[in-house]
Amino acid sequence: MITPKAKAGSSIKTKTGDWKNQFPEINSEKCIKCGICQSICPEGILGKKGEVPKPDLNYCKGCGLCASICPVKAIEMKRVDSDE
Ligand code: SF4
Ligand code: SF4
């Protein structure tokens, strides 16, 4: 039987629910749409290259890789309980 190819970040098993402790906030004015964060995100949940990333927070693990790789510091990791 042929199994359909799974979409990145689409498995219920990889849903983070409430347990991640931080999440990325994208500054769309700073973003130069280079696509690096979209390439490196282990969950593949930052949308298409060439567009401002739109993280699907249902699947984000809060690892911070996207923020650490962004060449123009357009991604800031925010604590889930942060009011800022
Ligand atoms: S924090 Fe990690 S899982 Fe979440 S969008 Fe960034 S790279 Fe992907
Ligand atoms: S790495 Fe930074 S500049 Fe490049 S697409 Fe992601 S947010 Fe935008």
Q: Where do the domains of the chain lie, and which CATH numbers do they carry?
A: 19-78 (3.30.70.20)
Of the candidates 72, 62, 63, 3, the one whose C-alpha atom is nearest the C-alpha of residue 32 is 72
Distance 42 CA to ligand 2 centre (A): 15
Distance 78 CA to ligand 1 centre (A): 12
Q: Given pLDDT bands bounded at 50, 70 and 90, which one contains residue 17?
A: low
Q: Global pTM?
A: 0.85
Distance 1 CA to ligand 1 centre (A): 33
End-to-end Cα separation, the chain, in angstroms: 50
Neighbours of 38 (CB within 10 A): 20
Nearest CA to ligand 1 atom 8: 41
Sign of CA pseudo-dihedral 41, 47, 82, 20:
negative
Q: Given pLDDT bands bounded at 50, 70 and 90, which one contains residue 1?
A: low
